[in-house]
Amino acid sequence: MVRSNDEVAALLAEYADLISITGGEAYRARVYEKAARAIGGHHADVATLDVKGLREIPGVGKSIAEKVTEYFRSGSVSAVEELRARIPAGVRRLTAIPTLGPKKAHALYEELGISSVDELVDAVHAEKLRDLKGFGPRTEEKILRGVGLLRSAGDRVLLDVAMELAEDLVGRLSEVPGCRRCAYAGSLRRVRETIGDIDVLVAARRSAPLMRAFTELPYVTEVVAQGTAKTSIRTDRGLAVDLRVVSPDAWGAALQYFTGSKAHNIRTRELAVRQGFKLSEYGLFDAESGEKIVSETEEEVYARLGLPWIPPTLREDRGEIEAGLGGDLPELLQEADLRGDLHTHTDLTDGLAPLENMVAAAAERGYAYYAVTDHAPNLSMQRMTDERMLAQREQVRKLDGAYGRRGGRGGMRLLHGTELNIDPDGEVDWPPEFLAGFDLCVASVHSHFDQTREQLTRRIVRACENPFVNIIGHPTARIIGRRPGIDADLDEVFAACARTGTALEINSHPDRLDLRDEDILRARRHGVRFAVDSDAHSVVHLSHVRYGVGTAQRGWLTRNDVINTWPEARLRRFLRKGRKERTRRGTDAHP
């Protein structure tokens, strides 16, 4: 079920957009945007807080707190409903188009009466936008690309949204009498980055009690179809969910079949046919006699095909069948393998929680080490200065070892780092003498996304060659459904990372998941090392590493491929060695 905090955050973010669309004060819109972020990242359930408790959340004043309590009391907020009534729903839909903000949406509506995505596309093709201030051929190109990105997403949702709902469904259905086993399947079990619908599987002798409980869940808005073997519903978030009830003795075959992917299932069925079997969701059968051979567990099904159990994250027909037959399946990275997090933020820049809170929460996760990497000064909106960063370093040093750790004596070790900005020419924020004081540096592209392919490639390669850059953060800078990845020659970037000893980040935030699984597979062939990081901006974001781990698994990564699974001593050698070797190479090359 969706967190109350996320519901409120979405409502306040929409209100901020409505303020902008209707020509309200920019400052007021920013206040609501900030409050939305703060509530979304707050650790406590805001539905349990009164006005006083809500006002203790940074960025939440009296007026916003009262709107939140009004929402939980009545199910709506009158101020939001009032602005919604003034603007057609289609205009609000325009703001979902990447690169098209509320101000431009307002201008399109006021000047041209455009109130839908289709009308906007027609207007672009008719070149009607070019007479508007702030619009032109380049803007038209960006709008069409944004519309394409929006439409390609369709009704798909981000991984975390689907996961939260699926885990709630599985928990509730598991408590229904007669439920033997329950699990989600499909693309969600394979940890795809976006999910179209959710498949839930139950093993039980009688389906009626489970189907009834399923349709009576509080977030069900429509029962699309109902039967004894399958029932389909739609939830209040628009997500479609299919529930299938199977016999307990068919559990393994059904789970294998409904997990997919389609391409993987075709390969396993072909393998079955070659061995004189027939494989379906009901079991593995002898092709001639029709006798059922195995079906109760996935392990049994795969074993009778001559395969080890194949992790769901690998089931994409990318060589997993051949690797299984040859005994070469990797021992995939697990979340428990992570010894620390190397990219996180505090309220010193755009994070939502103080340093002490973030460190304490990391220690509760059992980490052996933890890095604080607030933004550097070239991201000017963060108002970073040398003095502020050095003051934080003193705080970090005082907290170092003060919290418990997993698998060792003493407290969790803290690393003081920063997230640098890779400027258009490949330079980063601080000079070498200042960078030398950090334990590690993450460097990321935050602007100038539309440079040429050659410029973007050289820009990142130069950052890799910087002796103080240890990790390239969210390497393609994509935001799923809102901004495509930059057009760089990734193979050249991967080669540079391998050559310079620079790790590539797998950013675990659900709207990034950057690198993508396909890119990880390519980078791994170059010999690149990786860091699976949360990029947490609040305490609750620390748990996002589960999605990064799933993405890393889809890229066939093992524990040894990921630097933040290593013992602290090995990690620090990696960080120091990179600087030392690259500095020496630079000296040799420039006598």
Q: For 205-249, write each residue's pLDDT tens digit.
A: 999 999 999 999 988 999 999 999 999 999 987 789 999 999 999
Taking 50 as the threshold, does the pLDDT of residue 495 lie above it? Answer: yes
DSSP 401-459: T-S--SSSSSPPEEEEEEEEE--TTS--SS-HHHHTTSSEEEEE--S-TTS-HHHHHHH
Q: Mean pLDDT for the chain? A: 90
Considering the domain architecture, whether residues 347 and 439 belong to the same structural domain is answered as: yes
DSSP 343-363: -B--TTTT-SS-HHHHHHHHH
Q: Which domain holds residue 206?
A: 158-325
pLDDT value for 409: 54
Considering the domain architecture, whether residues 179 and 148 belong to the same structural domain is answered as: no
How far is Cα 461 from Cα 457, in angstroms, rounded to an integer? 6
How far is Cα 420 from Cα 230, in angstroms, rounded to an integer? 51
Domain boundary among 99, 128, 153: 153
In a domain, 532, yes or no: yes
pLDDT value for 320: 97
Q: What is the DSSP letter of 485?
A: P
Better-scored residue on pLDDT, 372 or 588: 372
Taking 60 as the threshold, does the pLDDT of residue 196 lie above it? Answer: yes
- Residue in the block written with tokens 């996760």: 365
The conformational region for residue 114 under phi > 0 = left, psi -120 to 50 = alpha, else beta, is beta
Rounded to the nearest 10 degrees, how much is the dihedral formed by the CA atoms of 150, 154, 158, 159? Answer: -140
pLDDT value for 154: 64
In a domain, 259, yes or no: yes
Domain boundary among 121, 153, 185: 153
Least confident of 116-130, 424-438, 549-563: 116-130
Is residue 535 within 8 A of residue 344, CB to CB? The reply is: yes
pLDDT value for 114: 86
| 400 Cβ neighbours under 8 A, 6+ residues apart | 411, 413, 414
Considering the domain architecture, whether residues 274 and 347 belong to the same structural domain is answered as: no
In a domain, 390, yes or no: yes
What average pLDDT score do residues 472-496 get?
A: 94
Better-scored residue on pLDDT, 271 or 581: 271
In a domain, 330, yes or no: no
CATH number reported for the structural domain that contains residue 38 in this entry: 1.10.150.110
| 577 Cβ neighbours under 8 A, 6+ residues apart | 501
Least confident of 11-25, 47-61, 185-199, 274-288: 11-25
Angle at CA of residue 422, ends 416 and 425, nearest 5°: 145
Instruction: Please tell me the total count of domains within the chain.
Output: 3
Instruction: Give the distance, in angstroms, between the CA of residue 18 and the centroid of all CA atoms in the same chain.
Output: 26
Taking 50 as the threshold, does the pLDDT of residue 139 lie above it? Answer: yes
| Maximum separation of any 2 CA atoms in the chain, in Å | 80
> Cα dihedral sign for 65, 69, 72, 74?
negative
| 122 Cβ neighbours under 8 A, 6+ residues apart | none
pLDDT digits (tens, 9 = 90+) for 335-374: 999 999 999 999 999 898 999 999 999 999 999 999 999 9
pLDDT value for 344: 98
Residue 587 pLDDT level (bands cut at 50, 70, 90)? very low
In a domain, 77, yes or no: yes
pLDDT value for 425: 96
Considering the domain architecture, whether residues 279 and 428 belong to the same structural domain is answered as: no
Considering the domain architecture, whether residues 367 and 279 belong to the same structural domain is answered as: no
| 101 Cβ neighbours under 8 A, 6+ residues apart | 20, 95
| 229 Cβ neighbours under 8 A, 6+ residues apart | 207, 244, 245, 246
pLDDT value for 406: 56
Is residue 556 within 8 A of residue 524, CB to CB? The reply is: yes
Considering the domain architecture, whether residues 290 and 342 belong to the same structural domain is answered as: no
Domain boundary among 153, 179, 213: 153
Q: What is the DSSP letter of 112?
A: H
pLDDT digits (tens, 9 = 90+) for 503-518: 999 999 999 999 999 9
In percent, the amount of the chain with pLDDT more than 70 equals 95
Considering the domain architecture, whether residues 12 and 113 belong to the same structural domain is answered as: yes
pLDDT value for 577: 63
Considering the domain architecture, whether residues 451 and 523 belong to the same structural domain is answered as: yes
pLDDT digits (tens, 9 = 90+) for 84-118: 888 777 777 787 777 777 778 878 887 888 888 88
| 282 Cβ neighbours under 8 A, 6+ residues apart | 250, 253, 254, 292, 295
Instruction: Give the distance, in angstroms, between the CA of residue 395 and the centroid of all CA atoms in the same chain.
Output: 30
Q: By three-state DSSP, how is residue 374 classified?
A: strand
How far is Cα 54 from Cα 413, in angstroms, rounded to an integer? 33
The H-or-E segment that residue 277 falls in is: strand 277-280
pLDDT value for 91: 75
Distances (CA, A) of 203 to 182, 184, 424, 469: 6, 12, 56, 51
How far is Cα 446 from Cα 60, in angstroms, rounded to an integer? 27
Least confident of 124-138, 227-241, 532-546: 124-138
Considering the domain architecture, whether residues 171 and 23 belong to the same structural domain is answered as: no
pLDDT value for 120: 87
In a domain, 470, yes or no: yes
In a domain, 516, yes or no: yes
Residue 134 pLDDT level (bands cut at 50, 70, 90)? confident
Considering the domain architecture, whether residues 236 and 204 belong to the same structural domain is answered as: yes
Residue 590 pLDDT level (bands cut at 50, 70, 90)? very low
Considering the domain architecture, whether residues 148 and 295 belong to the same structural domain is answered as: no
pLDDT value for 45: 86
CATH number reported for the structural domain that contains residue 309 in this entry: 3.30.460.10
Is residue 10 within 8 A of residue 46, CB to CB? The reply is: no
Nearest partner of 302 among 315, 290, 287, judged by Cα: 315
532 bridge partner residues: 506
pLDDT digits (tens, 9 = 90+) for 248-302: 999 999 999 999 999 999 999 999 999 999 999 999 999 999 999 989 999 999 9
Residue 591 pLDDT level (bands cut at 50, 70, 90)? very low
Considering the domain architecture, whether residues 261 and 140 belong to the same structural domain is answered as: no
pLDDT digits (tens, 9 = 90+) for 304-338: 999 999 999 999 999 999 999 999 999 999 999 99
In a domain, 424, yes or no: yes
CATH number reported for the structural domain that contains residue 421 in this entry: 3.20.20.140
